[in-house]
Amino acid sequence: MSKSQSIEDIILRDETRGMSLLRPHLPSDFVTDAAQFVLQHPGKAFIVTGFYILAAKAPETDGPPGSIVLARALRQIGFDVVFVTDKWSSKVMKALAPRQPIVEFPMASHDDSATFSKELLETEQPSIVIAVERAGFTNDGTYRNRKDDDISEYNAKTDYLFEQHPISIGIGDGGNEIGMGLVSEVILNQDDFEATPSMTTTTKLIISACSNWGAYGLVAGLSLLTQEDLLPTCDDVQRIVELAVKSGAVDSSSCQFEARVDGRSLEAELGCIADLRSLLRGQGV
């Protein structure tokens, strides 16, 4: 890895979905900016994740592993963490986070989902809400995958948590995730994007080659700011990804139960962690 590489360079390398085209429309240090934003809002974090793969009839391996890594880091610096998912990804999250708070957001109408969100926010009082690879509303209020299939039947309307909370971060890799509303006009005007963009906005946005990497990048950013190594080891990440597969998650590209993420090998996933750890070492963390 080049010593001049930034966190943003690492998490965007080899991206294939046009994310680099969005980079000029975000702060140059968008990961560090988001990490600083997290530290400015201590307390309790909601981490919202889970993306259903229609062709496989199963959730994917991108999102839950990154959420687990992020949650561990946040707890290490004093946050309480509550995971939010829906019934389609609930089994995977319960396997990855046993004995930890997990809210299963109901499959419900827009009105009922908005009401559930309001009541959940009032009860739990999170200081920040973070989405990691979570589909977001398109302009007609539906959810669409990368092939523009309507997946609304398989995605609870967690967007209302972000619409009703002023402090939020979105992490995505394709344009159709919560948070991409911040750059939806750019996506609509570029031919390189396959996905119909999400219109759901967040306060801050992290783009990455795959969303796990965006979550890992945020942890690296927190590590630099706190001068505390919050990143997992490669062995840790391998165990998390393999457990996600064992619990019912698939690679979104092959639609197979295999330890791959968005069509990338496990070695690529671990390579991202290794390079982020190298960056931290170079900065004396």
How much of the chain exceeds pLDDT 90, in percent? 95
Closest CA to 70 of 144, 111, 24, 11: 11
Say yes or no to pLDDT of 193 above 90.
Answer: no
Query: Rounded mean pLDDT of the chain?
Result: 96
Q: How far lies 51's CA from each of 100, 167, 195, in Å?
A: 20, 22, 14
Closest CA to 166 of 136, 135, 202: 202
Closest CA to 113 of 153, 160, 74, 76: 160
Residues recorded for the chain:
285
DSSP H/E element including 58: strand 58-59
Which pLDDT does position 3 carry in this prediction? 45
Which pLDDT does position 177 carry in this prediction? 98
Cβ atoms within 10 A of the Cβ of 195, count?
Answer: 22
pLDDT digits (tens, 9 = 90+) for 232-260: 999 999 999 999 999 999 999 999 999 99
Which pLDDT does position 4 carry in this prediction? 63
Say yes or no to pLDDT of 2 above 50.
Answer: no
Mean local confidence (pLDDT), 12-28? 95
Mean local confidence (pLDDT), 97-103? 97
Say yes or no to pLDDT of 194 above 50.
Answer: yes
CATH class as words, domain 7-280: alpha beta
1 against 50, higher pLDDT: 50
Quick one: tokens of 219? Answer: 């942890």
> 102 with 164: CB under 8 angstroms?
no
Mean local confidence (pLDDT), 184-199? 89
- Please, which pLDDT band fits residue 156 given cuts at 50, 70 and 90? very high
How far is residue 51's CA from residue 102's CA, in Å, rounded to a whole number? 16
> 214 with 17: CB under 8 angstroms?
no
